Every structure is written in structure tokens, then in C-alpha cells.
Amino acid sequence: MSASSPQPAALDAALRQAGDLGRRHGRAAVYWQIGDSDSGREFYQELLAGIASADPAITGLYAVPDLTARWDYERGNLTADLGLAAGDPGLDAAAGAFLAAAREEFWLEAARLARRRLAAGTGDGTEGEDGTEPEDDGEPAPDYRQDITDPATGLSRLLSERCGTCILSPGDPMHLGPERTAAFIKQVLAERSYVVCHDTLTYGDFPDYGPAICRGFFDAYRTRSAALLILQAGRRLTEVPPPLVAKAEELGRAAGQTAAGQVFDGNTPGEEYRRVLRGIEEGDPAVLDAAEPPAIGPAAGYDPGDLARDLGIEPADRGLPRAVSAYADAFTSAFWQETERAARDHAG
């Protein structure tokens, strides 16, 4: 008996996610092979010309990611990341979407890199007003300079915890492979610098969040990076949550405030407000447990799948469990802050 055909909506979601994964692998592969150091104008001019003409003498020097053991990311890895079952009829289409996106993004990113390096070294007026060269379609190129400065404090932003797919987390969640990860870290340390979390890159999944130093790199190499030693010595670091956690907390706070208004409204007697206020002040679990509604789950009418949808991620995303926890904590905190404020206003 053959496997049933996937539902169109589920297949579309899997293809979109496969494309996103392919683009991420394609971008990363550029830096593993070409790097972002100044190799000289002639090198980048030849690279651009070779890409534009599809010259195999140039393009044949580089390997585009595929789904083989060579890249430490095979069809089985893609199947798991998409949450598909082995033998799913949609897997072939998803693999095709991954490979097409990886190839396209690899050469787009290689061309962007070459243009950035040429623009940075020429000073011939080809840069945009923000110091980046325009893209071919006339739109400004993304600003690839990853400024970790926090606009509110002037300090350097550091993630307060690892993102869900930190390259230094156990299990290789980004499927880079130990050799590539080690080579990347070695390069960063040689440059006396730091790693910016991929989730916070201005051309990543959360482009408006603002770049921040990778927590995994900071925890492992805080005493070996000259840049981090200087920032620590000058107390120039400020911690920010990973973007997915921050967004989940924002959603949780809004839901908690709304829930407080639904539990205690204008018809609630003053005595009830006084009872709740006493319970808050005394930490009475009999009062607190009875008053607080569930934050997430079937009883709340809002489950992790709903949160994943509102965060713009797939239910199988590795960061979802942490996002659920952040949402629930923010919900509870906001609920009791709003409840205590209302109780004090109405207790009489």
C-alpha cells in the first residue's frame, strides 16, 4: 500500500522550509570556501566575471551544498528537520527545493561578497550611501556590516542565552560538521574577533532585531578573543535575549495582560480585589492558583502550534520549546503585574 499524498498546505509549508534551509546552507558554504578576507581586487573581479558568465573555469572551483555525506547533511537530516516521515511522497520535492535554493543562494552570496570586497577597497563612488553597493535590480544591497552596538545604551549586544540552533550546541543543530565548525572558529579567533549569532544577522531570519554576539562562542572563548576581553574589561556588554525568545515574551506579555482584564473586570466586587491583593502580598497558593489561568495548552485555547504560527516558525523548529517556556513565563509575569495594579486601584 503506497503512502498517502501529502495535503497541499502541508506540502507547501515543507517546501518553504526546505528552501529556507537550502538558502542558509548555501550562504554558509560561501564563507567556508571563499571567506570574507581581502584576497585582492583581481581575485574578486575574476570571481564576479566568472559568476556572471557561468564560466566553469571559475565556478568549477567551488562546491555547492548538496544532500550527501560530504556536507554532513543528507536526505535523512532534511527529513528530520522538516518533520516528515521516511518515504513521505513529498520528500523528493522538498529535496529539490533545498538543492535549488542552496545553489541559487550560494552564487548570489558569492557575488555579494565579491562586490562588498571590491567596494570596500576602491573608494570609487560605487558604494551606496550606507557604504554598501546597490544590487543589480536597483535596490540597495543589505548592510552586511554587523554592528552589535545597542542603540539604547551604546553598549555591545550579547545574547543572554544560546539560540535554538547555536553552532556550538551539542548535536550540531546547524549540520555544519565538526571540521567546518572548527575551521570557522579558528578563523574568528585568528582575527581576534567574535561570532555574531546567525539568528541576529541583518540578512538572517530576524533582520530587524539587531546583531548580537553568539552566546555559545562567548561562553567557550571569552578568554581567548581579544575583542571580547576588551569588551569585558571595559564593561561594554549588555545582554539581550535571542530574537525568537524576545518575540515569544512579547506575545506572552500581551496575552497575560489581556487575560487579567478578562478575569477581573469592572463588575468584580471590591472585596474580591482585596482578597486577591492579600493573596499576592502573602504568596497564598490557594488564591494564586485559583486566579491564574493557564498560559498555553488546550485549556488556554492557545497551543504550541499556535505560538509557532505567530512566531513564523514551523512546529518542528528546534527553538519552539524554549519559546513556549518564554511565552508562559512572560504571560504569568504580565498577568500578575496587571492583576496587582487593578487590585490596588479597586480594593478601596
Of 122, 143, 168, the last residue of a domain is 122
23 and 90 share a domain?
A: yes
Cell numbers 571559475 label which residue?
58
Same domain, 210 and 249: no
pLDDT at 192: 87
Within-domain flag for 197: yes
Q: Report whether 295 contacts 255 (CB < 8 A).
A: yes
Same-domain pairing of 279 and 259: yes
- Containing structural domain, residue 224: 156-240
What would the grid cell of residue 31 be? 564563507
231 inside domain: yes
In a domain, 146, yes or no: no
What's the burial of 5, exposed, middle or buried (CB within 10 Å: 0-12/13-18/19+)?
Answer: exposed
In a domain, 208, yes or no: yes
What pLDDT score does 39 carry?
61
Based on the fold, state whether residues 208 and 111 are members of the same structural domain: no
Specify the pLDDT at position 232.
93
Residue 287 located in a structural domain: yes
User: Which residue type sits at 52?
Assistant: A
73 burial via Cβ count (<10 Å: 0-12, 13-18, 19+) = buried
Residues of the chain with pLDDT under 70: 1-9, 35-39, 120-145, 264-270, 286-290, 346-348
Last residue of a domain, one of 122, 137, 165: 122
CA distance 330 to 251: 8
Cβ-contact 203, 222 below 8 angstroms: no
Do residue 271 and residue 289 come from a single domain? Answer: yes
220 in a structural domain = yes
Which of residues 201, 223, 240 is at a domain's end?
240
Nine-digit cell at 157?
549586544
Per-residue pLDDT, 158: 97
Whether residue 158 contacts residue 210, with contact meaning beta carbons closer than 8 Å, is answered with no
81, 175: one domain: no
pLDDT of residue 35: 62
Q: Is residue 128 part of a domain?
A: no
| Rounded-to-10 torsion of CA 287, 293, 297, 300 | 150
Number of domains the chain is built from:
3
329 burial (CB, 10 Å; 0-12 / 13-18 / 19+) is middle
Which of the 8 DSSP states describes residue 315? T
In the 3-class helix/strand/coil scheme, how is the chain assigned residue by residue?
Answer: CCCCCCCHHHHHHHHHHHHHHHHHHHHHHHHHHCCCCCCCHHHHHHHHHHHHHCCHHHHCCCCCCCCCHHHCCCHHHHHHHHCCCCCCCCHHHHHHHHHHHHHHHHHHHHHHHHHHHHHHHHCCCCCCCCCCCECCCCCECCCCCCCCECCCCCCEEEECCCCCCCCCCCCCCCCCCHHHHHHHHHHHHHCCCCCECHHHCCCCCCCCCCCCECHHHHHHHCCCCHHHHHHHHCCCEEEECCHHHHHHHHHHHHHHHHHHHHHCCCCCCHHHHHHHHHHHHHCCHHHHHHHCCCCCEHHHCECHHHHHHHHCCCCCCCCHHHHHHHHHHHHHHHHHHHHHHHHHHHCC
pLDDT tens for 125-171 read: 333 333 223 344 444 444 445 789 998 889 999 999 999 889 888 87
Is there a single domain that holds both residue 322 and residue 274? yes
pLDDT of residue 121: 62
Task: Please check whether residue 175 lies inside any domain of the structure.
Answer: yes
Shared domain check, 323 and 337: yes
Residues 241-296 have pLDDT tens digits of 999 999 999 999 999 999 888 776 666 666 777 777 777 777 777 666 667 788 99
* Alpha-carbon span 123 to 121, nearest angstrom: 6
Q: Are residues 211 and 252 in the same domain?
A: no
